């Protein structure tokens, strides 16, 4: 009777909880990878790369690339720090004119709210994913749940990114409008070409950022896909 009990223990350990955690890993992995890639773009390194390109659009209203490199980090830093909107509203051009108008400041406040909720939520979800992965890794009987969860999650990520990139390439205007419509009220994110936000971050900037985010997310997902495929092969031998 004792040997029989020992043999059935692994089967019991692959419980409904293990299946739930497997599904959770599958669904949360695309979000973790995507938000992490977005965070990578929100760095001085990406600004240096983007503004340093020889074919990056010039500002018809007079900002040089050096000006952009000096001013753009303020906008990015505001989204990541704990400062209120005065962090941006107090900025002035050399002639004393406010760098951002009221509508731009309101939009940046909205963007900060979305950004910080997204990062906080992803950090919390990522922490739970680590706990879930650790739980599934403790018992050999649930290794397959962990493997399949990550495999399916990476596969789902690749599929989603492929669809997003395809939509962006085929009809960028529709994609850009649709994206903003999800997170912001209609009309609050459209600005004149003479507004500072457009001068710092023209449409080409966002197109390039989307491609970088998609590429980084896809590379990470493919690496996980390959690793878990190899692991799955060993587990099924």
69 pLDDT band, cuts 50/70/90, is very high
pLDDT tens digits, residue range 75-134? Answer: 999 999 999 999 999 999 988 999 999 999 999 999 999 999 999 999 999 999 999 999
Res 9 pLDDT > 90:
no
Res 62 pLDDT > 70:
yes
Lowest mean pLDDT among 57-61, 178-182, 202-206: 178-182
CA distance 205 to 207: 6
CA distance 157 to 218: 7
Res 4 pLDDT > 50:
no
Q: Give the residue-averaged pLDDT of 132-139.
A: 95
pLDDT tens digits, residue range 150-168? Answer: 999 999 999 999 998 888 8
Q: Give the residue-averaged pLDDT of 52-79.
A: 94
122 domain residue, yes or no? yes
4 domain residue, yes or no? no
| Token couple for 222 | 């493919």
Q: Which pLDDT value is given to residue 168?
A: 86
6 domain residue, yes or no? no
Other beta carbons within 10 angstroms of residue 226's beta carbon come to: 12
Is residue 62 left, alpha or beta, with left meaning phi > 0 and alpha meaning psi from -120 to 50? left
184 domain residue, yes or no? yes
Number of residues that make up the chain = 237
Q: Give the residue-averaged pLDDT of 173-189.
A: 88
Q: 6 or 213, which is more confident? A: 213
CA distance 33 to 225: 13
Calculate the average pLDDT of the chain: 91
Q: Give the residue-averaged pLDDT of 210-230.
A: 95
Q: Give the residue-averaged pLDDT of 203-232.
A: 94
Q: How far is CA 148 from CA 15, 99, 234, in A?
A: 15, 51, 13
Which ranges in the chain belong to alpha helices (H)? Answer: 2-13, 16-41, 44-51, 65-80, 86-89, 102-137, 143-170, 172-183, 196-200, 203-235
Q: Which pLDDT value is given to residue 185?
A: 87
98 backbone dihedrals φ, ψ, rounded to 5°: -60, 140
5 domain residue, yes or no? no
Q: Is the dihedral of CA 57, 61, 64, 68 positive or negative?
A: negative
14 pLDDT band, cuts 50/70/90, is low
Is residue 58 left, alpha or beta, with left meaning phi > 0 and alpha meaning psi from -120 to 50? beta
2 domain residue, yes or no? no
Burial (CB count <10 Å: 0-12, 13-18, 19+), residue 221: buried
The structural domain count of the chain equals: 1
62 domain residue, yes or no? yes
Q: 192 or 12, which is more confident? A: 192
16 domain residue, yes or no? yes
Indicate the pTM of the whole model. Answer: 0.87
Q: Which pLDDT value is given to residue 8?
A: 37
pLDDT tens digits, residue range 183-210? Answer: 998 888 999 999 999 999 999 999 999 9
Domain that holds residue 94: 11-235
3 pLDDT band, cuts 50/70/90, is very low
CA distance 77 to 95: 23
Res 1 pLDDT > 80:
no
Contact between 124 and 132 (Cβ < 8 Å):
no
Contact between 176 and 169 (Cβ < 8 Å):
no
């Amino acid at each position: 009777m004792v040997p029989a009990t020992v043999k059935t223990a692994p089967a019991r350990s692959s419980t409904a909880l293990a299946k739930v955690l497997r599904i959770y890993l599958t669904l949360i992995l695309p979000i973790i990878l995507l938000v992490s890639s977005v965070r990578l773009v929100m760095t001085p390194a990406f600004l240096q790369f983007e503004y340093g390109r020889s074919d990056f659009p010039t500002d018809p209203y007079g900002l040089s690339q050096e000006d952009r490199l000096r001013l753009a980090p303020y906008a990015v830093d505001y989204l990541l720090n704990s400062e209120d909107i005065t962090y941006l509203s107090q900025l002035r051009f050399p002639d004393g004119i406010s760098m951002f108008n009221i509508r731009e400041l309101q939009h940046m406040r909205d963007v900060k709210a979305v950004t910080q909720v997204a990062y906080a939520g992803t950090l919390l979800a990522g922490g739970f994913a680590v706990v879930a992965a650790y739980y599934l890794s403790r018992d050999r009987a649930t290794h397959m749940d962990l493997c399949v969860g990550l495999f399916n999650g990476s596969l789902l990520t690749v599929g989603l990114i492929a669809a997003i990139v395809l939509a962006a390439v085929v009809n960028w205007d529709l994609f850009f409008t649709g994206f903003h419509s999800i997170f912001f009220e209609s009309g609050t994110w459209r600005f004149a070409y003479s507004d500072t936000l457009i001068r710092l971050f023209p449409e080409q900037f966002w197109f390039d950022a989307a491609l970088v985010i998609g590429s980084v997310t896809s590379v990470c997902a493919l690496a996980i896909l390959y690793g878990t495929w190899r692991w799955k092969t060993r587990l099924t031998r």
